[in-house]
Structure 1
Amino acid sequence: MASKLSLDPLAVLVALALAGAALSMTIALAQASRERAPQAVLANQTSASVAEVNAVESQALNSRWVVSADEAKQLIAQGATVLDARGGLKLQKPLARAIAVNWKQFAQPHAPDQGKLLDDDHLLTQKLQAVGVSRDKPVIAVGDPARGWGEDGRVVWMLRTLGHQKAVLVDGGYQALVKAGVPTAWSAATVAPRPGDFVVERTTAWTIDRAQLKAELGQQNVVVIDTREAREYAGATPYGEQRGGHIPGALHIYYKDLLDQNGKLLPREQMITKLEQLGVTQDTQVVAYCTGGIRSGWFTSILSDLGYKAKNYAGSMWDWSAGPVASYPLEKTN
């Protein structure tokens, strides 16, 4: 005869309560998981969107050589490298986190080649890495357009020529950045706290040497532009040129004629008009020069930003005037 199973009523009630609690917890966890899933997807989509926007902005710098102070401020907040290229004109406080550079530290040391970039790519790589230049990080060169010599444009031209695709200068320079709220510091370092990883890979897209320029003189679609002061174009030699005058056939426009009295670039349409008056079109190959490729480096950067084909003759008058008179003549004007 089978024995009867005896159950404690209290135990049964406890078991049922525990089972119910477990079921309720399972249902609650499932519901929470469903609620969190869209939020997680939205968060991932938002992060992806921000990264995509930053990537687009970074990609856009490939074709832009000039940015506004507000754009530069945003790039600095995102970690761009800032190079203060003002040199001896640094009378104001430097920008916070900026690394002080001088165009001369990347150029050949002896006359008449002091306008040319160093020939040693390994040495240039070391120097640029020391000031924090990295492959994929934008570089912002800062100058003093109103009182300087276009050093920021020279640095941008140099970096582009050495293979960096995201080097830009700031319209209005230092003063515009300070006005935009970029903080300053009491002093600027000359070495970055963390070295960059940029490696020099030269391009000839924006540079030309003396022999190449001589060969291109007189070609129909080539316009040579002297960016110095009018007195230098006429024949004055205030900066150590061995001979005075200008390269035969060169047209003249002082590089600061593209700036207003406050050191800001003229409106795009006005700059284009000035260039058209010189016979420069989008199809023209412009070759710019000055004394040592500084002012003309700036000019080349501005024209490149405007979409023109421009090359900087870095050796410029120091180099040309040192050549044999018969091979590298100069013209003078009254």
Structure 2
Amino acid sequence: MTQFDFEKLVDAEYLLKNRTNDKVIVIDARGSMLEEGSLMYDKAVVVDWTDISLLGEFGGEELGKLLSKENYQQIFKKLSISHDSEVLVYGFTMPEHGFGDEARVLYTFKYTGLNNVKFIDGGFKQVEKLGFNKNYESSSDRIDVSDVVRSEATNNDQAIFTNELLLKIGDEDVQIIDTRLEVEYNGRVIYGENKAGHIPGAISLPFNSLVDSNGFLKSREELEKYVTDKGLDKNKLQITYCTTGVRASYVAVVLEELGFEVRNYEPSFARYANVGEVVLD
């Protein structure tokens, strides 16, 4: 049951009510994690976070950055998104699965000025219950962006990049938020980063700790108390990071809704581990 009063968050029933609305575009953000033959909503288009991000080698400065607005116009055309569209996005249900990819789509499209994007609380488990499912076929159900000649976003002020981040470490007016799992923060390498540990002074706030055991975002009151107990200060700039910026986007979206000023480190720890100091607590 949806507990968080957030205009960018809707329940699965909202999807059902808008099933016949031609202006509603549904995105399945599970992307490449979705196995062939798995169930998906029958009117959805599958989009992976890499489909809407700049690509490059793992640990490089490029991987995970947003694309140009011109690139997104090409992608929107493929998705049949226009200025009067409403975009509904779902991902895997956390905390068991998923990386918050649904909010990554919201975060990304916000850069283009497309603000009528909402993600579905409770993820695919709630969507599946509606009964309008089909088996996923990658050749026909996933967006094909192979013809998009990618270029980097300009004036992307919702993000921060490595050189500026390095200057802000230790700044009393900045708090750095590690949104990976606590075991990653404490030194376990899961996704191949060059070093174990975390950015000096970073606060551990795992992305999936924002949802309850059923995968619904916790209430505003619960989240306010949680982040306050973590030491987050609304008078300071929050910088979120994870491995490549996806999980961090999810936390950035929620923190911003709670009234924080947030910038997301898009290349994230995969890049930072190659160039910055790492600590273990």
TM-score (norm 2): 0.82
Q: Please list the CA deviations of residues 204-223 of structure 1 after superposition, one character each: whole Å capped at 9, or x if unmatched.
A: 34221112222232333321
Partner of 1:247: 199
Asked if the contact 1:288–1:296 (Cα under 8 Å) also holds between the matched residues in 2, the reply is yes
Asked if the contact 2:68–2:154 (Cα under 8 Å) also holds between the matched residues in 1, the reply is no
> How many matched pairs?
260
Q: Is residue 85 of structure 2 the alignment partner of residue 152 of structure 1?
A: no
Query: Which is richer in strand?
Result: 2
Pairing partner for 1:140 from 85, 88, 93: 88
Asked if the contact 1:65–1:305 (Cα under 8 Å) also holds between the matched residues in 2, the reply is no
Partner of 1:95: 41
SS in 2 for 1:94: strand
Partner of 1:286: 238
Q: Is residue 32 of structure 2 the alignment partner of residue 84 of structure 1?
A: no
Distance 1:183 1:203 in 2: 40
Asked if the contact 1:115–1:293 (Cα under 8 Å) also holds between the matched residues in 2, the reply is no
Q: Please list the CA deviations of residues 31-68 of structure 1 after superposition, one character each: whole Å capped at 9, or x if unmatched.
A: xxxxxxxxxxxxxxxxxxxxxxxxxxxxxxxx833222
- TM-superposed CA distance for 1:87, in Å, is 2.1
- TM-superposed CA distance for 1:160, in Å, is 1.1
Partner of 2:228: 276
- Matched to 2:211, the amino acid is L
User: Where does the alignment leave 5 or more consecutive residues of structure 1 unmatched?
Assistant: 1-62, 193-199
Asked if the contact 1:162–1:201 (Cα under 8 Å) also holds between the matched residues in 2, the reply is no
- TM-superposed CA distance for 1:270, in Å, is 1.0
Partner of 2:126: 176
Asked if the contact 1:161–1:202 (Cα under 8 Å) also holds between the matched residues in 2, the reply is no
SS in 2 for 1:83: strand
Partner of 2:148: none
Q: CA RMSD in A?
A: 2.6
Distance 1:66 1:150 in 2: 13
Q: Is residue 56 of structure 2 the alignment partner of residue 110 of structure 1?
A: yes
Query: Which is richer in helix?
Result: 1
Taking a change above 3 Å as real, the CA distance of residues 329 and 297 of structure 1, as seen in their structure-2 partners, is: same
Partner of 2:134: 185
Partner of 2:8: 65
Asked if the contact 2:88–2:119 (Cα under 8 Å) also holds between the matched residues in 1, the reply is yes
Taking every aligned residue pair, what percent have the same amino acid on both sides?
A: 25
- Matched to 2:188, the amino acid is A
Taking a change above 3 Å as real, the CA distance of residues 202 and 167 of structure 1, as seen in their structure-2 partners, is: farther
TM-score (norm 1): 0.70
- TM-superposed CA distance for 1:283, in Å, is 3.3
User: Where does the alignment leave 5 or more consecutive residues of structure 2 unmatched?
Assistant: 1-5, 145-151
Distance 1:136 1:307 in 2: 27
Distance 1:138 1:305 in 2: 19
Partner of 1:162: 112
- Matched to 1:109, the amino acid is L
Distance 1:238 1:321 in 2: 13
Distance 1:165 1:318 in 2: 29
- TM-superposed CA distance for 1:299, in Å, is 1.1
Taking a change above 3 Å as real, the CA distance of residues 288 and 182 of structure 1, as seen in their structure-2 partners, is: farther
Taking a change above 3 Å as real, the CA distance of residues 75 and 171 of structure 1, as seen in their structure-2 partners, is: same
Asked if the contact 1:72–1:140 (Cα under 8 Å) also holds between the matched residues in 2, the reply is yes
- Matched to 1:144, the amino acid is F
Q: Is residue 269 of structure 2 the alignment partner of residue 317 of structure 1?
A: yes
SS in 1 for 2:133: coil
Q: Which has the higher contact order (CA 8 A, sep 6+)?
A: 2
